Amino acid sequence: MNKHFFGDTAVLLGRSLRHIARSPDTIITTVITPIVMLLLFVYVLGGAIQTGTRSYVNYLLPGILIITIASGISYTAYRLFQDLQGGIFERFQSMPIARSAVLWAHVLTSLVANLISLVVILLVALAMGFRTSAGVPEWLAAGGILVLFTLALTWLAIIPGLTASTVDGASAFAYPLIFLPFVSSAFVPTTSMPGPVRAFAENQPVTSIVDTLRALFAQQPVGTGIWIALAWCAGLLGVAFTFAGIIYRRRIS
């Protein structure tokens, strides 16, 4: 690792965060859709949905947090694509900086932006009646899962950011990720779904992550679900990190 890696990453991270500060519509845009969905499902559809819980906003929030992350990481691919098209990478290569710092700056920018979005969604949910008995350990566990999931999807977003031929192609990959929670336990229990749909819903990553977050917020036993959720997050992160690194090295060689 280049001895200047951390310093170079910090400088480039500051550059990316300044861009977001000058254009806060990025974060605003990523939180509008989850907030609208939160309002729609709680106040319009929630009364007709049977979840076995007294508070539908408590049931719904983990899934909305996942959708918020999926919405936010599309901007990682977009920003990376814009830098590539603008010739920034070629300019950086001519400077004595760690090459990997460029990618890590984008990843950390995504992490910071998504954490801000998650806090906004959480505050809205609290105003709508979300309540939790979770203590510090449960909050730390939930936060760790959300951070790990954000990193996994961010490194996944790096791949289309490096390989897309158009700006629409760079960001459009996130759309299936946004809709994946709809075929999970995020909005309704999987027991209400027909056989094949239920089988898919119960064996995809969003369900295990959402169920774990829901149990942590309610201070209920998480069982083996937390290990399944962590395995999904770590597995996605490992695969995405590996392929993104290979593509990046080929792209700048």
CA–CA distance, 25 with 23 (Å, rounded to integer): 5
Q: What is the pTM of this model?
A: 0.89
Residue 23, pLDDT > 60, answer: yes
The confidence band for 122, taking pLDDT boundaries of 50, 70 and 90, is very high
Give pLDDT, residue 90: 61
pLDDT tens per residue across span 142-166: 999 999 999 999 999 999 888 887 8
Q: Exposure of 181 by Cβ count < 10 A (0-12 exposed, 13-18 middle, 19+ buried)?
A: buried
Residue 27, pLDDT > 90, answer: no
Q: Which residues contact 49 (CB under 8 A, 6 or more apart)?
A: 41, 56, 187, 188
CA–CA distance, 77 with 160 (Å, rounded to integer): 6
Give pLDDT, residue 222: 87
User: What are the extents of the domains in the chain?
Assistant: 5-252
